[in-house]
Amino acid sequence: MGLRVGLVGAGPWATFVHAPVLTGGPETELAGIWARRPEAAAELAARHGVGTFASFEALLDGCDAVAFAVPPDVQAELAPRAAAAGKALLLEKPLAADVAGAERVAAAIAEAGVPSLVVLTYRLQPRVEAWLAEARAAQPFAGRAWFISGGFLAGPFATPWRLERGALLDLGPHVFDLMEAALGPIVELRAAGDPRRYTTVQCRHEGGAVSEVAVTGSVPGDSRTGVEVVGAAGTLTLDARAIERDDGELRRRFAAVAAGEPTELDAARALHLQRLVAEAERSAAGWLN
C-alpha cells in the first residue's frame, strides 16, 4: 500500500493534477477529498473512486500526508494545522497570500519537523534538472527566463487571487526558482511593469551573474516558458514547454520525501521564493508610481 494522502481542494488544479497523480501509481493512495464546496469534493471523489471527508479534521485523522490544491490564503490557514498533526505536506506555491503568512507556514513545518514538497512543476522534471546541471557546468555569467501565458484572461485559472495580484505571485516563483537554479541565489532585483499585465525583473546573482525574467498571465496565445543562459562557451536554451511532463515524478518524489528523502524544494525554499516575489512587487509598485 502506498502513502495515504488526503487531498484538500476540488478545483481545477486538484482536478487536472493532484487527483490523477495521487491515484496514478503505487507510491501513493488517495485517501479521500475534503473541500470547502462539498458538492465539488463529492464529484471529484466519485470520479476517482474514493470517498470524501466531512471536515478538515476528519481528513487529518484519515491520512498519512496532505496535499493542498487551494488558494494561497486557505493553504496558509490549514497547512500549519496539518503540520502540527504530523502530516507530510505537498504544498502549492505561493505558500500564502503574503510573506507573513508564508513565514507562519514555514515556521509551523519546521517546528513540527514534518517533510514538505512544493509543486514547482518544472523543477520536478528530470530533463529540466539535467539541463540545469549542464547550464551550471557552463559557468554562465548571464541569463533570462520567461513565463508568458494567457491563463488569466479566461478559463479555470482566471481566479480572483490571480486577477487581483497578477503574474508575479503565481508565476514568479517558477521563473525565480529556475533562474536561481541556473545562476545562483538572487541577491538584488529591480522590477518594472504592472503585475496584472506584464512585468520584467532584473536580477543580480551571488557571484556576479545578471539575469532578467519576464512574467505575464495576460497575453493571448500559447503559453511559453523557457530559460536561457550565456557563458564563455556560448548560449544554452531550455524550452520548458517542449518537454513532455511526467506527472508521475511528482507522485514518486512526494512519496520519497514523505519517507525521509531530503529535498531542496521544500517549504523553506517556497518562503525564499515568496520573499523574492514580494520584493519584486514592491519594486514594480514604485516603478508605477
Query: What is the full per-residue pLDDT of the chain (289 aa) written as tens digits?
Result: 799 999 999 999 999 999 999 999 999 999 999 999 999 999 999 999 999 999 999 999 999 999 999 999 999 999 999 999 999 999 999 999 999 999 999 999 999 999 999 999 999 999 999 999 999 999 999 999 999 999 999 999 899 999 999 999 999 999 999 999 999 999 999 999 998 999 999 999 999 999 999 999 999 988 999 999 999 989 999 999 898 888 899 999 999 999 999 999 999 999 999 999 999 999 998 876 6
CATH class of 3-120+247-264: alpha beta
Residue span(s) of the chain under CATH 3.40.50.720 come to: 3-120+247-264
Q: How far apart are CA 239 and CA 280, in angstroms?
A: 24
**Quick count: other Cβ atoms within 10 Å of Cβ 206?**
12
Phi, psi for 59 (deg, rounded to 5): -60, -45
Q: What pLDDT, on a 0 to 100 scale, did the predictor assign at position 288?
A: 65
The CATH architecture assigned to 122-244+274-288 reads 2-Layer Sandwich (3.30)
Give the Cα separation of 165 and 72 in Å (integer).
11
Whole-angstrom distance, CA of residue 64 vs CA of residue 87: 6
Closest to 3 (Cα-Cα) out of 256, 228, 217:
256
Count Cβ atoms below 10 Å from residue 239 Cβ, excluding itself. Answer: 12
Instruction: Say how far apart CA 287 and CA 282 lie, in whole Å.
Output: 9
CA dist 117 and 279 (Å) reads: 23
- Locate CATH 3.30.360.10 in the chain: 122-244+274-288
CA angle 235, 213, 215 (to 5 degrees): 130
pTM of the model: 0.96
DSSP SS3 for 87: coil
Task: Find all residues with CB under 8 Å of 62, minimum gap 6, and list them.
Answer: 4, 6, 31, 32, 53
pLDDT at position 188, please?
A: 98
CA dist., res. 73 & res. 14, Å (int): 16
* Residue 155 burial class via C-beta count within 10 angstroms: exposed 0-12, middle 13-18, buried 19 and up: exposed
